[in-house]
Structure 1
């Protein structure tokens, strides 16, 4: 019975280390991808955009709220490029 518990603990440890390693790789690769995209493909940050639907369907207060929310969540690093109603 002791051998079964030993094998179970080894399998538990190997599984936890494997999951941790895979998640760590996902985080590292994701952050690296975000860094390179922001560095080499950054867009024009000329300020908050106007209503870009062309029809004026979205109320300007809603556009301002969306832009403020994006700036708040991204710490001022994100830009709203296009807003579309679905």
Structure 2
């Protein structure tokens, strides 16, 4: 019975230690994220000039996309819009 009590105590101490270390890691990570966001914010990407709108998709590429959709969906799918991102 003595060994069982010792094993249980060791298990509780080990699990508590792991839990405490994980909490420390989580809060240090959150602090690091806040620090980086405060002093080195993400640079905004320059806005692209959209005066002409998006470039049109060439007819042969549009036909290939439509054919691929038709094959995959067994002629039940339809291409409504294609945009380059």
Q: TM-score range by the shorter chain?
A: 0.5 to 0.7
Length, aligned pairs only: 51
The answer to whether 1:6 aligns with 2:15 is: no
Greater C-alpha radius of gyration: 2
Over aligned residues, Cα RMSD in angstroms? 2.2
Q: Which structure 1 residue ranges, 5 or more long, are not aligned? A: 50-59, 65-86
Change (3 A) 1:18 1:48: farther
Match runs of 1:1-86 below 5 Å:
2-46=1-45, 61=84, 64=85
- Which has the bigger relative contact order, CA under 8 A and spacing at least 6? 1
> How high is the TM-score relative to the length of structure 1?
0.52
